[in-house]
Amino acid sequence: MITGEGITKTFRQRGGVLAGREVRALRGVDFAIRKGGAASFIGESGSGKTTLGRIIAGLESHDSGEITIDGTPMSPLRPRQREPYFRRIQLIHQDPYSALNPTRTIHQTLNAPLDLRAKWTRRPRSWVEGRAEELLELVGLDPGYVLPRYPHQLSGGMRQRVVIARALTVDPEMLVADEAVSMIDVSLRLGILALLKDLRERLGVSVLFITHDVATARYIGEDGELYVIYRGQVVERGHVETIISDPVHPYTQSLLSAIPVLRGLERPGEQPVVPTEALDEGRDDAGCLFARRCPFRTGRCESERPELGHDGGMLQEHACFHPRRRSVVATPVGRA
Ligand X SMILES: Nc1ncnc2c1ncn2[C@@H]1O[C@H](COP(=O)(O)OP(=O)(O)OP(=O)(O)O)[C@@H](O)[C@H]1O
Q: Which residues bind ligand X (CB under 6 A)?
A: 11, 13, 23, 25, 43, 45-51, 281
CB closest to ligand X, residue no: 50
Q: CB nearer to ligand X: give 25 or 319.
A: 25
Question: Smallest Cα–Cα separation from 11: which of 28, 24, 26?
Answer: 24
Question: Smallest Cα–Cα separation from 251: which of 310, 311, 331, 306?
Answer: 306
Give the shortest CB-103-to-ligand X separation in angstroms: 27
User: How many whole angstroms separate alpha carbon 47 and alpha carbon 281?
Assistant: 10
**Alpha helices, DSSP H, located in 87-155:** 96-99, 106-121, 125-138, 143-146
Q: What phi-psi label fits residue 214: left (phi over 0), alpha (psi between -120 and 50 degrees) or beta?
A: alpha
User: How many whole angstroms separate alpha carbon 140 and alpha carbon 200?
Assistant: 15
Over its C-alpha atoms, the chain yields an Rg (Å, rounded) of 21
User: How many whole angstroms separate alpha carbon 196 and alpha carbon 188?
Assistant: 13
> 301-312 burial, b for 16+ CB within 10 Å, e for fewer?
beeeebebeeee
Q: Which amino acid is at 28?
A: G
Q: CB nearer to ligand X: give 258 or 314.
A: 258
Give the shortest CB-252-to-ligand X separation in angstroms: 15
Give the shortest CB-228-to-ligand X separation in angstroms: 12
Give the shortest CB-291-to-ligand X separation in angstroms: 19
**Do residues 321 and 296 touch, judged by C-beta distance below 8 A?**
no
Q: CB nearer to ligand X: give 11 or 296.
A: 11
Q: Which amino acid is at 220?
A: I
Q: CB nearer to ligand X: give 47 or 316.
A: 47
Q: CB nearer to ligand X: give 46 or 140.
A: 46
Q: CB nearer to ligand X: give 110 or 181.
A: 181
Give the shortest CB-58-to-ligand X separation in angstroms: 16
Q: CB nearer to ligand X: give 106 or 220.
A: 220
From the number of C-beta atoms within 10 Å of its C-beta (0-12, 13-18, 19+), residue 227 rates as: buried
Q: CB nearer to ligand X: give 33 or 168.
A: 33
By residue count, the chain amounts to 336
On the CB side of 52, CA atoms within 13 Å amount to 38
H or E stretch at 196: helix 186-203
Q: CB nearer to ligand X: give 18 or 336.
A: 18
Give the shortest CB-27-to-ligand X separation in angstroms: 11
Give the shortest CB-275-to-ligand X separation in angstroms: 15
Give the shortest CB-330-to-ligand X separation in angstroms: 22
Give the shortest CB-163-to-ligand X separation in angstroms: 18
